[in-house]
Every structure is written in structure tokens, then in C-alpha cells.
């Protein structure tokens, strides 16, 4: 039997959720239900797995268990980039002898985008939810400029399109003269992550049933099937897809293999769009790894700026209000440094979001028990990699040997982490060093 030692906790109010109208969550499970597949986790991985299952077999009985309300967890705290190219701009991340591997990764990423695009087309979403507009990588000085130039050379090697922008050109986009250069890549989709995941959750009807505020407390083999216990109910299912990311460790799985890292974000109050020139909607990741992600979000009541930076290692999968406040002070400085014309515009929302990483950067994927399939460890690119992992887990659970399943099965096992206290000392020092190296970026 696998028993949860504790349930997920989320601190801080996600601005993405707060900007949306109130939503009535699906009722929690009360009683016993039977299913072909039960999906534990209602984030990118879990809901993508459920969508793929329903595409493969419309009559398949699928139950999704979400511990809280959809979008209140890590998915609704995401920055909203479904990327097709590697997330970090550095030659070490993208180049060298790994060009074939990178092409491989790009194909996986674009399969995730294809699933999301299909949903957006089906629902007729506007750009406020799903915008295939591409993204910028922005530099804030000579160090970042070098990475932008290096990245362009690596994209040339794999014949990927891009556009380089000088300081004047990126200023025309962002409305500020703070950035020194940028590179634009067209394949990224920008989403309002809370709206996207709510829309995906609310798309399920018929044989796919979602139960919110229904944490899985335990699961155990029961003859030829599995039995999942919740606070007020039971699910009997032939197969389980574990799509609860780092929370899988609370069931005793992947112990000593998952790094629990939190990243932090702040979002301003709505401001008069005339206060900031440039385009009213754009998204930028940092030119230097571990730098600062920035988005301008257009709204009916004005525009907002999202700042995401700061990383902490939290092996207990908990953060404090103090940690959010400390990160928020950093965000305030980064906002003022980039947008001096917005001086006096306060942050309205601050939050933390959990990531599960592995030492060797691979997913925790596969059939870990007969009939139990894991889609764990997004490694910091949750919207893209968790979606792809969920698709692959769904196909694997139905016995498919697709190209995507072969890819995920081909990953090495997650490398075991060093013992404590060396792990905490090393992880904390590594994150601090990378943030220090990023400097102004």
C-alpha cells in the first residue's frame, strides 16, 4: 500500500487565478466509483493525460482526482510559456554535439503544443487565454548580449527561425530602454495558465469525470485492479497515472531522486496602459540562465507586469510567507530597474510555485508497478514537459508503443541525490551561485 504522508500546500495568491471570475469547482468524490484509469493530479500532466486518453478511446472511463481546486496549485502559478525550444539561452544548454538530441526535444515540445492548440481551436479561445505569438529572450547588459548571440548561432545549426533585435528594436516592443538586445523565436505559445487549465478541466464530459478537493490518500492493489482511497470515497481502477509531480514522494515514491525547488513571482496592480509604451502584450525569458522572466499582460482594467525570479530549495515541499516576502522585495527592485516609468505602481499579488527536478534532468516516468504509470518531474518547464509527459503516460497506459512513449522510456533513470545534509548545502549553494552569476539579468 502507498499512503500519502502529507497533502499539498500552496502559499500566496496567484495573480492568474485572481484575475479570473470565480469558478464553481467540481464536487468532491463521495462514495465508490469504478474506472478504467484513475489519474492522480489535475495539473498540466494529469489533465493532458486525461485528454489524450479520451482521444484514444471515447468510451474509456477515466477519473481525475485533484487534491485542491483546479489552477490553485503549481499549474496556476506557472509563468505561462509553452515553449518549443530549450528554456535557457546558453550554448551549453543547446549546442555542441547535442544538436540531434535538441531536434528530438523540439519535436517532443511541439507535440505538447499540438495538444494545447487542438484544445484552443476546439474552445475558440482568444489571445487572452492562448496566444501563439512567440517569445523574446532579453538581455540587460553585455553578459546577456553574448548569450543572445551564442543562442542565435546554435539555432542556425538546427535550422530554427529567429529574429535578433538591438536595443532600439526591443525597446519598441517592451516600452523601456533597459534591455540591450533580444532574440525572438516564433514557436512558443503564451497562455494565461489558470484560464487554460480551468478550460481544459471544464472540457471533460461523459466518461471522463473530475473530482476536485479530493486528495488521494492511499492506493493499493486489490486483486486485478487498484483501489484509491480519498477522504470520502474510493476509486476502483484497472490502471493509475500518477501526475502529481513532487507530491509523488509523499507516497514514498522516488525518494532520494527528486529536488523540490520553488520559484517566486509578483504581479503589479493594473496600470494605465499609456504609462508604458511598446506593445501591450508580450512575454520574455532571460538571456542568462536563472535570470528574470517578464510578461506584460493586457487587461480590460489596465495592464500588469509579471516578474518571476528567485529560487529556493525546499525539501519539505513547504515555503513560508517570509520567503515570499523576501522574494517580493527582489521583484520590486527588478521591476524598478526595468521599468522606471512605472515607479510607484505596487505589486498586487505575490506567490510561490513548486517544481520537481531530478539531478540529471530527466523525468521520473514509466510503469513503476504493474498498472501504475508515473508522469513526474517537469524539471522546471512544466507547461511543456509536463504536458508531453502526460500524453506519453496516457499512451503507455493503453499499451501503445508510440514514438513519444519510446522517447520517454528511453530516458535514463533519475540519478540518486547525495545524502543530507550535503544535499541541502549543495543545492542551496548551487542556486545561490547561479542567481549571483545572473547579476542584473
Angle formed at CA 335 by CA 136 and CA 424, multiple of 5 degrees: 85
Determine the Cα–Cα distance for residues 360 and 413; give it in Å rounded to an integer: 9
pLDDT at 432 (0 to 100): 84
Contacts of 28 (CB under 8 A, 6+ apart): 211, 212, 213, 214, 230, 231, 232, 233
Q: Is 279 left (phi over 0), alpha (psi -120 to 50) or beta?
A: beta
The answer to whether the CB of 262 falls within 8 A of the CB of 311 is yes
Q: Where are the alpha helices (DSSP H) in 66-157?
A: 91-94, 99-123, 142-157
pLDDT at 96 (0 to 100): 37
Determine the Cα–Cα distance for residues 108 and 404; give it in Å rounded to an integer: 7
Note down pLDDT in tens along the chain; length 441 residues: 999 998 888 878 899 999 999 999 999 999 999 999 999 999 999 999 999 999 999 999 999 999 999 999 999 999 999 999 975 534 344 333 455 667 788 999 999 999 999 999 999 999 999 999 999 999 999 989 999 999 999 899 889 999 999 999 999 999 999 999 999 999 999 999 999 999 999 999 999 999 999 999 999 999 989 999 999 999 999 999 999 999 999 999 999 999 999 999 999 999 999 999 999 999 999 988 789 999 999 998 999 999 999 999 999 999 999 999 999 999 999 999 999 999 999 999 999 999 999 999 999 999 999 999 999 998 888 899 999 999 999 999 999 999 999 999 999 999 999 999 888 888 888 888 877 777 777
pTM, rounded to two decimals: 0.95
* Domain at 2-77+194-255+359-425, CATH from 3.30.300.30, 3.40.605.10, 3.50.50.60, 3.40.50.300: 3.50.50.60
pLDDT at 94 (0 to 100): 32
Domain boundaries, the chain: 2-77+194-255+359-425
pLDDT at 97 (0 to 100): 43
Amino acid at each position: 500500500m502507498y499512503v500519502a504522508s502529507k497533502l499539498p500546500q500552496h502559499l500566496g495568491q496567484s495573480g492568474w487565478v485572481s484575475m479570473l471570475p470565480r469558478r464553481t469547482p467540481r464536487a468532491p468524490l463521495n462514495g465508490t466509483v469504478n474506472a478504467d484509469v484513475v489519474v492522480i493530479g489535475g495539473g498540466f500532466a494529469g489533465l493532458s493525460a486525461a485528454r489524450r486518453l479520451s482521444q484514444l478511446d471515447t468510451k474509456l472511463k477515466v477519473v481525475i482526482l485533484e487534491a485542491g481546486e483546479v489552477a490553485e496549485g503549481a499549474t496556476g502559478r506557472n509563468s505561462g510559456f509553452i515553449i518549443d525550444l530549450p528554456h535557457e539561452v546558453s550554448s551549453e544548454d543547446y549546442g555542441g554535439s547535442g544538436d540531434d538530441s535538441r531536434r528530438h526535444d523540439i519535436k517532443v515540445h511541439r507535440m505538447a503544443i499540438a495538444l494545447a492548440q487542438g484544445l484552443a481551436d476546439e474552445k475558440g479561445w482568444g489571445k487572452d487565454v492562448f496566444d501563439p505569438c512567440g517569445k523574446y529572450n532579453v538581455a540587460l547588459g553585455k553578459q546577456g548580449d553574448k548569450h543572445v548571440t551564442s543562442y542565435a548561432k546554435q539555432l542556425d545549426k538546427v535550422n530554427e527561425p529567429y529574429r535578433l533585435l538591438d536595443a532600439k528594436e526591443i525597446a519598441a516592443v517592451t516600452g523601456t530602454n533597459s534591455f540591450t538586445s533580444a532574440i525572438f523565436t516564433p514557436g512558443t505559445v503564451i497562455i494565461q495558465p489558470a484560464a487554460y487549465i480551468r478550460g481544459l478541466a471544464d472540457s471533460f464530459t461523459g466518461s471522463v469525470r473530475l473530482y476536485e478537493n479530493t486528495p488521494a490518500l492511499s492506493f493499493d492493489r486489490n486483486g486485478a485492479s487498484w483501489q484509491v482511497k480519498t477522504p470520502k470515497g474510493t476509486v476502483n481502477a484497472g490502471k493509475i497515472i500518477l501526475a502529481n509531480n513532487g507530491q509523488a514522494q509523499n507516497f514514498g515514491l522516488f525518494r532520494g531522486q527528486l529536488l523540490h525547488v520553488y520559484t517566486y513571482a509578483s504581479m503589479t496592480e493594473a496600470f494605465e496602459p499609456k504609462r508604458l509604451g511598446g506593445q501591450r502584450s508580450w512575454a520574455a525569458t532571460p538571456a542568462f540562465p536563472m535570470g528574470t522572466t517578464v510578461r506584460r499582460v493586457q487587461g480590460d482594467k489596465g495592464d500588469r507586469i509579471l516578474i518571476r525570479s528567485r529560487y529556493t530549495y525546499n525539501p519539505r515541499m513547504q515555503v513560508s510567507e517570509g520567503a515570499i516576502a523576501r522574494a517580493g522585495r527582489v521583484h520590486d527592485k527588478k521591476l524598478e530597474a526595468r521599468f522606471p516609468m512605472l515607479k510607484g505602481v505596487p505589486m498586487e499579488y505575490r506567490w510561490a510555485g513548486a517544481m520537481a527536478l531530478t539531478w540529471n534532468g530527466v523525468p521520473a516516468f514509466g510503469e513503476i508497478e504493474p498498472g501504475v504509470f508515473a508522469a513526474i518531474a517537469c524539471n522546471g518547464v512544466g507547461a511543456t514537459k509536463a504536458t508531453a509527459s502526460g500524453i506519453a503516460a496516457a499512451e503507455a497506459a493503453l499499451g501503445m508503443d508510440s514514438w513519444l512513449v519510446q522517447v520517454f522510456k528511453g530516458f535514463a533513470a533519475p540519478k540518486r541525490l547525495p545524502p543530507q545534509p550535503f544535499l541541502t548545502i549543495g543545492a542551496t549553494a548551487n542556486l545561490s551561485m547561479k542567481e549571483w552569476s545572473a547579476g542584473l539579468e
